[in-house]
Chains A and B, each alone.
Chain A
Amino acid sequence: MNDRLPLRQQLGRALREHGRAAALIAATVGAVALLFAFDAGWLDPRRLTPAKIANALEAHDGLHEGFRRAHAKGVCFVGHFDANGEGVRLSKARVFAAGRSSLIGRFSTGGGQPYSPDGRLVFHAMALSITAANGEQWRTGMDDTPVFPVATPQAFLDFQVATQPDANGKPDPAKVAAYLQAHPETRAFMQWLKDHPLPSSFANGTYYSINAFRFINAQGDSHFVRWSSLPETPFAAIDKDRLATLDHDFLFDDVRTRITHGPLRWHLLLTLAKDGDPTNNATKQWPDDRESVDVGTLSIERVASEEDSPCRDLNFDPLILPPGIAASGDPLLAARSAVYSTSFTRRASEGPQPSAQAPAIHDAAQNGNRSKP
């Protein structure tokens, strides 16, 4: 082969002499590229991507740069979890061995609007990142309702799209009605909100794991579990008819005031499924008589604005689990993990914003970090 020939002539000659080989090379490279395009979803416009759900959340509540796409309005807290050792028979996770783990968490209201009034949506959330003595991390995002409005990622997307406000700022009633007609589980969730008294404070709410998880103990036995945190603060119900008249930040002001009087505590309960209980459907409750094990106490000692606390920069991905806790077959879990990650990456790139919650009482809360006032 003559390497003095210019490239074009060389290629031309190669093609004449080696047409079939050149075609085979092009076909092979093209096939790999095509496979990759299919794999990445570029040829599949119907694939339910995390970006589609994040986009729907942004369309629903507006794009608020730097904030979480859901549960945008929140406040951080720090504290610890004291395990009593009862959880060891269900999970080998170190966090359940008698002893103390540290925690960072976040209270939030629902929705993607960081400056919305606290009465806008009645459901609240508690997110936790618990770090055991050996460094194992357990993150969870819990809601104060035992059931979730949708069972699948597709239904979640459809719900967001159907309830998206149009030009006049309200969802189209026809779309909402059509969605609800097709989703009895969402109607059941709304009915649950109507029928049950709802907590008046972050401090007196019970928070639920939303999804079921698989717990694995040191012997390798596995159980399906849902967990919940039960407040020591006595329950008081919010007046659902007067939500619009409540102060703009009544929930956040309340928790920052309460913490100055001492730590807030919850008992962490593991509830065991029996055979036949749904473990892959977050819209279905388990019967009330299922065994619950109190595995320890969550104590919140300090509340801080997001800007001053590491919770702002954490993704409370429910699949960040220690060995001894694993995902169930609930399709929402992988979707939450994927969408939270997209939301996290987007808000990180936008430059995380200071919290919508000014640290007004923050200094008082820090100074009030003692067991009793």
Chain B
Amino acid sequence: MNPHTEHFVLPARLLHWTMALMIIAMLFIGAAMVSTVSTAHSTLVAWHRPIGSAILLLVLLRIVVRLRHPPPALPSDIPAWQRHAARLSHWLLYALMIAMPLIGWAMLAAGGYPVQIFSTLRLPPIAPHDLHLYTVLHRLHTYLAYLFLLTVLMHLAAAMFHGLIRKDGVFRSMAS
């Protein structure tokens, strides 16, 4: 075994863990807010929009950081299928981090809702007011949220696999 010692740069690690918390929070907030008529509904809706907006901003910053500081290479002894799975799941995570806030934003616009992020910030509509489009975007937002959750769970399992079983330094490259 050849544990590699390279790390993600500090900004990348900070962004990763901050966004990890925010994304998991968003998945939980989103699922809860559509499941209740209690006052939690309006509180959670009020959190969902600013956190989603922040994720969109942070993922753009994260892409810049990643392009400037490419992540450490995976250990050379990783089987090809795991290498492919890693690449695919990271692409998927990035795509979802960008797409989910944009779909949410466009969905509100298509539903004719003011895109009120918090009381003093309202974003312009990025889609026409059109209920067919709203329906498509609403379904996408819902199904992609489940895909996001599954991808995050796989990512978590893979990270723990690297940290606890392979002990190949991949987990440590992000964790410390």
Contact = CB atoms under 8 A, between A and B. Distances in A.
B137 to A, nearest CB: 10
Mostly, the A contact residues are helix
Contact of B132 (A47, A345, A351): A351
Interface string A138-175: 00000000000000010000000000000000000000
Given A1-B166, A3-B79, A334 B39 contact: yes
Contacts, number: 127
B61 interface: no
A169 to B, nearest CB: 29
B119 A323 contact: yes
A349 B134 CA distance: 8
Contacts of A36: 27-28, 31, 149
B4 interface: no
B52 to A, nearest CB: 16
A47 B24 CA distance: 22
B57 interface: no
A187 to B, nearest CB: 24
A264 interface: no
Contact of B42 (A333, A339, A349): A333
Interface stretch (B11-19, B62-70, B91-99, B156-164): B156-164
Interface residues of B, number: 46
**Majority DSSP secondary structure for residues of B touching A:** helix
B165 A22 contact: yes
Given A3-B78, A50-B36, A337-B41, 7 more contacts: A22-B165, A24-B160, A32-B153, A320-B116, A334-B42, A338-B37, A348-B134
Interface of B: 1, 24, 27-28, 31-32, 34-42, 45, 77-81, 111-114, 116, 119-120, 122, 129-132, 134-135, 138-139, 149, 153, 156-157, 160-161, 164-166
28 contacts: A1-B1, A1-B166, A3-B79, A3-B80, A25-B157, A25-B161, A32-B153, A39-B32, A41-B32, A50-B36, A135-B114, A135-B122, A136-B114, A153-B37, A310-B112, A313-B129, A313-B131, A329-B39, A331-B39, A334-B39, A337-B42, A338-B37, A345-B134, A348-B111, A348-B138, A349-B135, A349-B139, A352-B131
